[in-house]
Every structure is written in structure tokens, then in C-alpha cells.
Structure 1
Amino acid sequence: MKKIFKALAIAASLTTMMAGCSSKSSSSSESGKVTLSLYSTVTNEADQKTLTNVIQKFEKENPSIDIKYNYPADGYEGMLRVKMAANDMPDLFDTHGWAQKRYGNYTEDLSDMDWVKNLDPALDPILKDDKGKVYAYPLNQAKDGITYNKSLLEKYGIKPPTTFDDFMTALETIKKKSKGEVTPLWFAGSDKSAFGQYFDQFLTPLFVTKSNPDSEKQLLEGNINWSDYTFLPEKLKEMKDKGLLNEDVLTAQNQQMTELMAQNKIGFIIGGGMLGPSVEELNPKVKLGVIPMPVIHSGDDPVWIGGERHTLAVWKDSKHKKEAKKFIEYISQPDIVKEIAEGTALPAGLTNTDAKNYYSSDYETFKDVKVQPYFDRVYLPSGMWDVLGATGQELLSGKMSPKDVSKKVGEEFKRLKDQKK
């Protein structure tokens, strides 16, 4: 009973939070003006500015439509779960990697829209199903790897790593040559998702390997040897023990990252692909780069970890689907596609423009590198992201050993998978 009351209290709290930052899902004023609600997972300040500017341009050209936008950051998933349960979704919302699995029953089919013919084929498996339904519009797409301080690596004579062993060597070299003044690998560990990012991005090179051509098929069937997973927590603990992580790894916050990188205080970040423009704004002398995920097994090739980054889906029960689709139609124009891609420093989701962004030269260098989907979105049941992140925090706080982490992750995988049946 206590658990029920607690759940109700959380739901009420989230509902109150939503009421404070947004109006109802959609509304029409007496003057006939339509108000649409839009929720997005964009957290980076530059990305928010880019999306907001586009919204304001649309409103200026369409004075009968007003868009109330919300960027709830860490509260996004909780808010959307409450809204799904109440069947009161925003008119436009970000599916953040879960267009089909989590939000599929709430999305309007967009397959009849003109922009679909320009959808990047790499996004077909993520945003389309075998019946042809299109679940969401891609504002951009992810090509995640490891972000590095190009200026520092050049100063210390370090080549961007292509293997995990090279990665560890690079971290140790940065510590040695900077005399401890630079954090080799930095985590905003107050947020467990920072460790979720580490584990999730390295799960693909750990488990999808050329040495086992059937690895992807076996993973889809749920055949995962979690004892092999121990490698990743072992390496993370080794990094901490060797002083290769920031001393405040469990309390550091995401907003510190840009300033520290601009001060040449960080060598590498897992993910962090959107960081470049913000750092350049603070210190143009610091240049960042991005590389694909280093290989773990000999003979494998580096891979990008990707798929949808930010999207907009239309709620299928919205009272203003026509206006919501009009906004998507607007942002699918080549000049707006280009503006969003360049403003968020990510590849465009459509092929109707030639967008250049901060990392274009890196993406061009590694244009032949395969893009693999996020591991948790394909092979793990919903809820595992939190497990990956939380066990990372427990590991670095000394409450769990690497083997404890593997055991816990394996148990939670089975529990959540059985729960889904």
C-alpha cells in the first residue's frame, strides 16, 4: 500500500511540475489562435537556442499558431510516462531513441508527408516499421563516439585511439604529461546517465564482434554472457584507481563540462558530440574532435553508436494534428534542416541539404565507419539504462565490485525481460 501511495505522490508531483512549465497539451483561444505544446529532450544550451529560434520563425510566419515549448532535461521521461498513463500527450514530443518501442502507440503516422522521401536510409529501421508507418521526424541523428581535446592530444603527441588499449594508454599519457593538471577522462557522475553512456557505448564493441558472426542474432534472442560484461566495470575501476578520472567523479555536474574543456582541463568525454560549439564560444583556441568507438577485440573495426538523436512525433490523439504537422512540414525545408543540423553540431536526419557542422571534418574522415544502434535500444529491455548508470555509481563509490556489477546487471536484465512478457 505504501508503494501505491508513493507512486501516486510521484505522479502528482510530476503533474504539478508540468503544470508550472506548460499549458494543456493544446488549446484554441477565443480569437481562433491555436496553441501547441512541444516537449523536447534537448539539454545543451546551444541546441535549445537553435530549436527555439526555429519555433519563433515558424510562429512569425504562422501568426495563428503558438507553440509552448518545454525542455525538462532529466525530468523528461518521468513527465512523459505520467502523460502516457493519462493519455494526455504533448502535441509534439521527442521520442529520444524510443519512437517505436516506447512511444509507438501514441504517435501519428507521418508516412504521407513529403519529407519522408528525403529521410536518411540509416534511420529507416528506427523510424519506420515493416508496414510503412513513420513514427517521428528526425531533427538530427546521432553519430556518437568519444569526444577528445584535439589541442591537448596534439600538444602531447597522442594519436586518437582506435583500440581500447590505445585509449587506456592515451589516458595515462595525458595524466603523466600534464602532471595531473588535466583530467584524462571526465564524467558528470552526479547523474547516473553519465555511466550509462560509458557502458552502453562500449557494449557494442564488447559484444558485437567479427569473431562471432552470429553475435547480433544471439543478442536479439537474449543470449548474453554477463560474466563477459565484467571487462567494462573492471576498466572503469582501473581508471579510477589510477587517477585517470576526475576526483569529483561522483558529484561533478554536466554544466561544469563546457567550462573545464574550454580551460584545457579535460582530455576525453564519452559521447559529448554536441560540446564543440559551446567550447569554441568560450575559448576558440581549444579545438575538439570526435572519433568512433575504439575496438575491444582484435580484428574488429571501430563503429559509431547512433540512431535518432532528437525527433518530433505528433500525438495521434491531438486535437490539432493539422497544425502540428504544419510545423514539421516547415522544419523539413532544406534551409531549416541545415539550420538545425549546424546549430546542434550533428548530421541532419534528411538528405535534402548539405549541412556543415563543427565535426564535419571528423565525420568525413570516418565516413566509411559503420553506424550501430544504441545497444540498450535494440538488445535490452526498458529500464536497463538506469541499471547501467546506477551500478556505475555503486562501483566507483566502492559499494560494488566489478563482478558484483556484472551479477546485478545480469539479474536485472532477466527480471526486466521476464516482466515484459
Structure 2
Amino acid sequence: MSSKSKVFWASPNEVCYFDNPIRNDRKNMKTNNLVKTRLILDKILDFINSGDRVGIKVHVGEAYNTRYLRHDYVHEVVEAVKSKGGIPTLIETQGIGLSVRPVKISKNYNVNLMHRTNKEDHDRISHLHGYSESLMGVTLKFIDGDKGAYQKNIKIEGIHFKDVSVAAGLFEYDKIIAVSHFKGHPQGAFGGALKQLGMGCVATRNKFLAHFKGNLMVNSKACNISKCAQECIEVCPINAIKIENDSAVLDVSTCIGCLGCLERCPVLGIMPHPFRRNKQFIECVMDNAAAVLASFSPENIRYINFALDVTLVCDCIVNASVPIVPDLGIFASSDPLAIDKACIDAETNAPGLPFLDENGEWSEPLPSGVEKFGTMNKKVDPSWQLDAAFKNKLGTIDYELVKI
């Protein structure tokens, strides 16, 4: 792609008249961020035709995370699609794992984490975070099935992957709008439109393969069916495990890497390979994204990034902590690489925010002109994701920023 991609941008600033009584009119309400969401959507939703089935890809946030994208913004996307004659549905995929993980806080207080790994628990946290049909006016559908196994294999020539398991339910829609909360990520440096494609639109198998260097393995020294109730067989959603010669045998050709067997085995008879290094993880996620765009026409996808509450870690993390820069605004585009590059540039140009360290002392904020994600999390670099996306031909880093 040689020409510049348009990235529309709305400032996060809102105007309030300090009159007595406080009043609102058309002029100042056009600065309201929910109103600006509709205004910026008008710039990118001309691709929707009356009757189109439109999947609105969301991330509802993990339990006990309080920095996830507020449902109010996504409700504006829903209403904008309806105004164009489209038929919207919120769509999401399952995370890795199969069960909620309890953590004891005190004698009478436990918290349950990892709610986004199966339909029942994912539905519960979606409702708690406002992504319910009663509030949104549309249903939330898991496009990779109840346990992440509903997938379609797509052949590609990626940096690492030659085939990718894309969430099969994605292909039930005519158009897709990827709604992303722009923020940092502990392994990927940042999460935006590209990660919404490469992690949010694939089935569990390729989430797992992006994180780990290889398939799950049976630990023959630990596996002993006389010391268990064959929980691995019971929990496997696709029957990829059987017993041979008093030991579990795992069919890696069908295993989706949900980690259910590893979670349930009482004798630690299932082992994962080591985690991938961060740069390789990023490249794998961009391979995943390439498969999504190779199988679902890029011209039928639009992107909107909300660079608000920009934390150092992602919405999968429970303790997201405080924002590291001021709110940067709302971005929209038809190019996932261009929109993420624009967000990185905005994050770099913004001044950092101070925060309290573990000793209760205020830190010195990073100045404008310094890229914050890579500087604060020294194990990652945002350029790795942008470079891998460019290698996979996901878009262009050359963009024209259009203020609305």
C-alpha cells in the first residue's frame, strides 16, 4: 500500500459551561465523548448496507479489572449500525483455560478470576460489565463456540504459522467493526486494532500456539491413572485424550490448547512447552491477524480505537493499575495498522502521568516525545508489532490524521 490511509481522530476534551445553573447546548454537547463516538463513526460506516449482518467485535474485560472499555461507547456503535439499516450483534471469543480460578483474600472473602474462558462465566462477567442485551439492545455471541473450539482452518504464509484456526462464527456476518480499547500489553507492547484481529478473532488453538512454543505434552513420569479419576478425559471439549497402557495419550492434531486438562489433572500429568519470547509472540499474533484478513475481506472491516484510560497492561489483567498518559481520544479507520500507528504516535507525543510506587512515593512522569510502553516495560517494543503487521501486509504505517 503506497497511499496514505485516513485515520479520523476526535479529541478527548469535553467542554462544560460553568453557568448557574449549568447548561448544555448543541455546541458543547458536540464535544461529549459519546457524541463524538457517533460523529467519528459517521466517517467510516458508509460500507454498511441495509440488511447487513454486522458483527461488533468487543472485549468485555476480565473480572476485577476496572479499566476496560465502558459499555456506553459500544452502545453508540450499536445504535450507529442500526441507523444505517444494519443488524448488529456483539461478538467475542473465549480466552485460554476452561475454569474460574478462586483466590482467597481473607477468612470470609474469596475472589474468582479467569471468567472469560467459557460461555457461562464469560456471560456472567459480560453482564456485570454492562455488555448485556438489556442494556445494549443486542445479544453477545461467542463466535468460537462455548469453549473456543468452533474454528475454521485458514492457510497462510506467515512469519511463523502456515495455518491458523480462525473463529468460525466470524463468517456468519457480512461486515465487522472491531472496537478496541487502546492500552499496553505485557507481551505485545500494546493492544489495539491489530491485536483485536490477531487474538480476538481466532479460536483457542491459535491463542494457545501464539503464547506457547509447542503443543501440550503428557508427563509420562507423573501421569498415573491409579492416582486420578481421569479428569483430563472428562474435561477435554473435543475428546483429544484417551488412555493407553495406563497413561494418557494426547492427540496433538486435534488438541485446541484450552488448558483444561492441565488445570484439572491432580498429578501434574500434563505439561506445556515454555512461553514464546515476546517478539515471537507478537509475530504469531500478527500471523493470526493475517489469516483473519485473508479469509474475511479487509474492505468489509472497520476499526475504532478508544485511547482512554491508557494503562500499561491489557484488559485481561486484573490489576490494570492507573493510566500512564492522559486520555488521547477516539480514532477510526479502515486500516488496522495505520490506526494503531496513529495511537502509538499519540501516546509517544503525550506527556506521561505520575503514579504512586510501592512505597507510596510519586514517580517522575515520562516526558512527551518518549514512547511509554517500551520504556516502562523494558521487555517489549511497539515497533515489533508494527513491523510484523507490515511484513504480513496488514496495512500501512503512512497515515493522514483527520480531526473531526
Whether these two folds match at TM > 0.5 is no
Name the structure where helix makes up a greater proportion of residues.
1
Bin the TM-score by the shorter chain: under 0.3
Which of structures 1 and 2 has the larger relative contact order (alpha carbons within 8 angstroms, sep 6+)? 1
Structure 1 length-normalised TM: 0.24
Name the structure where strand makes up a greater proportion of residues.
2
